[in-house]
Copies of this chain bind each other. A is one copy, B any other.
Amino acid sequence: MAGEASQGTPREPATPKYLQIAGRYARAIEAGTLRPGDRLPSVRRLHAEERVSISTVMQALARLEAQGLVEARPKSGYFVRARVRAPPPQPARPARRAPSAVGVSALVARVYRAAGDPRVVQLGAAIPTSALLPARELARAIAAEARAHPEAQVDYQMPPGLPELRHQVARRALEWGCTLAADDLVITGGATEAVTLALLAVAAPGAVVAVESPTFYGTLKAIEALGLKALEIPCHPEDGMDLDELEARLDRYKVAAVVSVPNFNNPLGSCMPDLAKARLVEMLAARRIPLVEDDIFGDLAFGPVRPRAAKSWDRDGGVILCGSLSKSLAPGLRVGWAAPGRFRERFEHLKFALNMAAPTLPQRVIARVLREGGYDRHLRTLRARLREIVERVSAAVAESFPPGTRVSRPLGGCFLWVVLPGQVDTLELFTRALDAGVSIAPGAIFSPSQAHRSCIRLGCIEPWSERLDAGVRLVGRLAGRLEG
């Protein structure tokens, strides 16, 4: 492996020390860790750090110089030389593996890596991009916070997290139908970390966790990482998790917890009616089974009313509500929270065990934005814009996808669920679309059994444009070819 350091151990036949040192720096230059123009440590420093004589250091540097890797500049020291090389070979076309051989983790990694590539049309992710979010206002809040409280950025903010942020979140919770106090909340690294901690808090390794099918692949990865098993409960595109089916399964299996995204389930976009939320909470409370509620998309309702959290029907602290502003304000700040109900103390201990504390600065920035009140104004604009993008993508799908294609009609969120006719393998579609410069999310990643193979999720996360339109139509044409 390029990255493994190798140094003679004291027991093997000794490579001269100057060659060891020169070799290490040569490899660093080869690997690009040291780049042309970078300065090497001074002779004195190498002498101290490597615990060798000055003359050994000089020998090592002479060798690197002889190899053409570094050059001495009078009174400045040694610098990495620009090297003349043959241009590297062109990148190979990605090998096309049989879809069945592709693990979901590797697939997901390809989806999110493509998300960082500006040349790719982004229909694969479900996170509004900076063009839809108030980047300049956030930057101003960051700079103001750094100036106002320089020491605060240095100090840890131990769990449960910044009191002022917890207070602001508790205030917002009134809108979700929940009466929470600041002390009911624990700050986390996004809602994903909140769900991971919730699972750790309520389910021992090997336990079974019921999830909606399809559901967010991040949750499936967390379940797998913690050694848990997922039990898939069908999810209806409009009303969410099938509660009759859930009830039947709970009678048959020992289930440690249920994970649900009642508001705008990712990827279906379904929203549970209030009656169903109340029934879900009651059903689980009667069985003393915790509900992990992921309410990450609730703020992205298209209509004037923000749907309530299932947590608002919770009476025995059995619902662990997880949320964040990652989909509606500042994905990159990674500020989330949980209201862990009766698991609060354990949840807080686990947050400490996992990574000790959430970073201070992002908490202070989000608290400032919520306090200053610009969030609601931004949210009204964002909801209207997302609704428009979702409608336009939907229209483009209707025009360009094969006949028989079905599309979800979500009332919130930032994605569409597309069911292709016939036996179109969307893992293959994913590969072909990415080769053509468009990322989509193949249905298989939303299910532990890789069901939903003829479905895709289309993210609606950037302002509508001809480029986006062309991207959707390209996927439609490719789907038509795979079907035919």
Chain B residue contacts of A342, Cβ below 8 A: 1
The answer, yes or no, to whether A350 is at the interface (CB within 8 Å) is yes
Interface centre among A11, A28, A156, A275 (most CB of B within 10 A): A156
Q: A138 near B: Cβ within 8 Å?
A: yes
> B193 contacts A355, CB within 8 Å?
yes
CB <8 Å contact, B158 and A112: yes
Of B6, B51, B116, B167, which one neighbours A33 at CB under 8 angstroms? B167
Q: Would you call B331 and A155 a contact (CB within 8 A)?
A: yes
Residue interface mask A129-168, B partner, CB < 8 A = 1: 1100101101110110011001111111110000000010
Interface size class of A (residues with CB under 8 A): 35 or more
Question: Is the beta-carbon distance between B218 and A179 smaller than 8 angstroms?
Answer: no
B352 touches A5 (CB 8 A): no
Residues of B within 8 A of A27 (CB): 179
Contact B181 A2 (CB under 8 A): yes
A200: Cβ under 8 A from any B Cβ: yes
Partner of A155, one of B10, B129, B150, B341: B129
Residue pair A313, B5 in contact (C-beta under 8 Å):
yes
Contacts of A136 in B (CB 8 A): 150
Residue A330 at the B interface, CB < 8 A?
Answer: yes
- Interface check A224, CB cutoff 8 A: yes
Picked from B48, B193, B353, B358, the residue with its CB within 8 Å of the CB of A218 is B353
- The B-contacting residues of A in range 322-369, CB under 8 angstroms, are 330-335, 339, 341-342, 344, 348-350, 352-362
A248 interface residue (CB < 8 Å to B) = no
A77 to chain B, nearest CB (A): 14
| A306 CA to B41 CA, complexed, in Å | 14
Pairwise interchain contact A221-B349, C-beta atoms closer than 8 A: yes
